[in-house]
Copies of this chain bind each other. A is one copy, B any other.
Amino acid sequence: MVHQQMASQEITVAYLGPAGSYTHQAALGKFGNSVTYHPQATIDDVFKFVEEKHTTYGVVPFENSTFGSVVTTLDRLVSSKTQIIGEAYLEVNHNLLAKSNIKSVKRIYSHPQAFGQCRKWINTHLKGAQCIDASSTSRAAELAASESASAAISSIVCAELYGLNVLEKDIQDLRGNKTRFFILGNSPSGSTGDDRTLLLFTVDHRKPGALCDCLKTFKDHNINLTKIDSRPSLQRQWNYVFFVEFEGHKDDSNVRMSLNDIGEYCLGLTVLGSYSNKRTED
């Protein structure tokens, strides 16, 4: 675990809160109970806390196996001054929590990602209800606890924490629904022999095949890509920034050769971090 490297210092961890969020649970799984936690209201605040060195580490959601990438995290990575130094996976089982019963539910609070992971269930069982965005699923539970006709889509942990009844368990559309989190820090992680790296770059849109040329540098050095995302560049309309994740550490010799080659074809290349691969195939 990351914190074993720093056992002699006080370790502090910012996460997307409040207490009981899935990000909190992922953080607890990674760092345990012997560190000090600082819940934050937004993903942006977690990045800022680490960038301004208020905490040693930060934990943010990155990707869900059903509903895909967390765009707030992708967009914030573009201006990030931190490094991604680790990842964590959590099996996510959503529940409908409320003070009252399902018949009186007029409003549902949750994070947009959780709504996306329970789309079919909501459309079948609570089609008329208002879906109200909360900054996290635990914040949703906190809000639902203060209103009689409201429910939250949230974790089972939050039922006890915020004094809510579990009206329905496991309402996510797919079984084995998992979320992947990034651990942010200020010092890069060393190579472990089984790592992944996330890159950010853009390409000259006037050059046909530019993205292909970029990706080919990985193939040339026998590096397997694991994920590609694109987001609007915001510099030029209908141009994109690309997030490419691959197997290997930025200090591995084949990765270094590939990063050297890719510089010829892309613009604004940034290594967002290398981290030990924690994915386990089911």
The chain A residues found within 8 Å of chain B, CB to CB, are 64-68, 71, 112, 115-116, 130-133, 174, 176, 178, 208-209, 211-213, 215-216, 218-219, 222-232, 234, 237-238, 240, 242, 279, 282
CA distance A256 to B66 in the complex (A): 33
Contact B237 A178, beta carbon cutoff 8 Å = yes
Q: Are B208 and A219 in contact (CB under 8 A)?
A: yes
Which of A116, A133, A212 has most B Cβ within 10 Å?
A212
Oligomeric state, in copies = 2
Q: Which residues does chain B contribute within 8 Å of A229, judged by CB atoms? A: 230
The answer on a CB contact under 8 Å between B66 and A282 is no
Closest to A177 in B: B237
Residues B279 and A232 in contact, CB atoms below 8 Å apart: no
Report the nearest B residue to A211, measured CB to CB.
B225
19 interchain pairs (CB within 8 A)? A65-B237, A65-B238, A66-B232, A66-B234, A71-B116, A112-B112, A131-B132, A131-B133, A174-B234, A208-B224, A208-B225, A209-B219, A213-B219, A227-B230, A227-B238, A227-B240, A228-B228, A228-B230, A228-B242
Contact between A222 and B240, CB atoms less than 8 A apart: no
In contact, A216 and B212 (Cβ under 8 angstroms): yes
Contact A238 B112 (CB under 8 A): no
Partner of A208, one of B112, B222, B282: B222
